[in-house]
Amino acid sequence: MKLKVCGMKYNPEEVAKLQPDYLGFIFWEPSTRYFDGRVPELPKSIKKVGVFVDASVEEVLEKVKEHQLDAVQLHGKESPAFCMELKNNFLSFRADSRKKKGDETKEVSTALNLTSLEIIKVFSIKDEFDFSILKAYETVCDYFLFDTKGKLPGGNGYTFDWSILKDYPSSKPYFLSGGIGLDSTEKLEDFLASPASQYCYAIDVNSRFETEPGLKNIEALKKFKELLIEDQL
């Protein structure tokens, strides 16, 4: 089971020492976890995820280029056509970057060294969910992410009813998110032992492991990861 720590802002390098599989950086300005610095050098085993809310393709690709992001998480009302456009533009942009690589006047920061870009599309759930919505996204996204529907797109600190996922009709791997904390390990163990979790690929944590928005509690994260490994979640 993979682990993603999202909402990185103040101490990403400390969190990186715990070796999560993904670190999420939010590029949506209204968020209290908005990241406006430089993503630090991270171990290659950790994938850097940029989180966006209804941004333009150009804006997303600019952040991908600037921070060498491995994945983008789309947390707004992005359509299947948008996801396809993003994927196609990334491939074209990468090809152009490689053609220009011999230009000595080009700044290093503009070089795109990634070979692929993972697209994670978020869907928010409250009491119910229409899974037929997913069908149009099947071929244009690499992963789905299920989060709790709240006032803000993510980081609300509440869990939704995971049993809803028993009706998940796809075989596409998904991230489970929304209010997961240290006190969720027993509930997680039960969920991951159920048929509903068959395609659960990663656990995504955020606000329940903070001392303030964007500042992660290292000891709590360390304990959570140890419990995940101990229980083989």
Is the pLDDT at 27 greater than 70? The verdict is yes
**DSSP secondary structure, 61-81, as one string:** HHHHHHHT-SEEEE-S---HH
Is the pLDDT at 174 greater than 70? The verdict is yes
Share the mean pLDDT of the chain.
89
Is the pLDDT at 155 greater than 80? The verdict is no
The tens digit of pLDDT for each residue in 31-54 reads: 999 999 999 999 999 999 999 999
pLDDT-based confidence at 195, cuts 50/70/90? very high
pLDDT at 218: 97
Which residue type does 214 have?
G
pTM, 2 dp: 0.90
Q: Where are the beta strands (DSSP E) in 87-181?
A: 118-125, 143-148, 174-176
Q: Two tokens at 4?
A: 């993603």
Per CATH, is 2-230 categorized as 3.20.20.70? yes
pLDDT at 225: 92
What are φ and ψ of residue 47, in 5° steps? -90, 135
Is the pLDDT at 30 greater than 50? The verdict is yes
pLDDT-based confidence at 158, cuts 50/70/90? confident
pLDDT at 115: 76
Which residue type does 190 have?
D
Q: Two tokens at 215?
A: 């500042």
Q: Between 232 and 131, whose confidence is greater?
A: 131
pLDDT at 103: 52
Overall average pLDDT of the 67-88 stretch: 96
Per domain, the residue ranges of the chain are 2-230
Overall average pLDDT of the 99-119 stretch: 62
Is the pLDDT at 84 greater than 70? The verdict is yes
The tens digit of pLDDT for each residue in 132-152 reads: 999 999 999 999 999 998 666
Q: Which percentage of the chain shows pLDDT scores above 70?
A: 86
pLDDT at 106: 42
pLDDT at 109: 42
The tens digit of pLDDT for each residue in 56-74 reads: 999 999 999 999 999 999 9
Kindly list the distances between the CA atom of residue 61 and the CA atoms of 35, 48, 87, 114, 141, in Å, as whole numbers in the listed order: 16, 14, 10, 12, 16
Q: Which percentage of the chain shows pLDDT scores above 90?
A: 76
